[in-house]
Structure 1
Amino acid sequence: MKEQEFNKEFLRRFTDNKLSGPEYETLMQWLSSLSPQQQQSFLNEHIQSLSPVALKTSSQDFEQLRNKIEQRDTSKKTVRLWLTRVAAVLIPFAIYTGVVNWQNKEQPVVNIASRMPAVSRRPVRMLRVINSGVYAKTILLEDSSKVTLSAGAVLSYPEKFATGKRELSLIGKAFFDVKHETARSFVVRSGDVKTTVLGTSFWINASAGTRKTTVKVKTGKVGVQRLTEPAIFLLPGESALYNQISGRLSKIRPERHKLHPLKTAQPATALSFNETSIKSVISELEKQYQVKIVLETGIDPALKLSLNTRGKSITAVMEEIKNQAPVIYEIRDSSIHIKLQ
Structure 2
Amino acid sequence: MKPYESYTLEDFLEDESFRKWVQGRGKEEMRWLSFPERYPGQREAFRQAEALIRAANVDEDRISEKEIRTEVERFIESADRGPTGRGPTENPATHLLVGFADDDEAETGRRIFWKRWLLAAAAMLVLGAGIGWYYYEEYGVTTVAAVADNSPADLVTTRNDSGNPLNINLSDGSEVTLSPESSLRYPAEFEEGARTVYLTGEALFSVKKQGQTFMVHTGTVVTKVLGTRFVVSAFDNDRNITVQVKTGKVSVYVDKPSEKEVKGLIITANQAAVFEKSANQLSKTVVENPEKLPDGPVESILKYDEVPLPVILRDIEKSYGIPVQFDADSFWTCKITVAFSDESMYDKLSILCKTVSAGYEIVDGQIVVSGQGCSK
TM-score, normalised to structure 2, is 0.35
Larger radius of gyration: 1
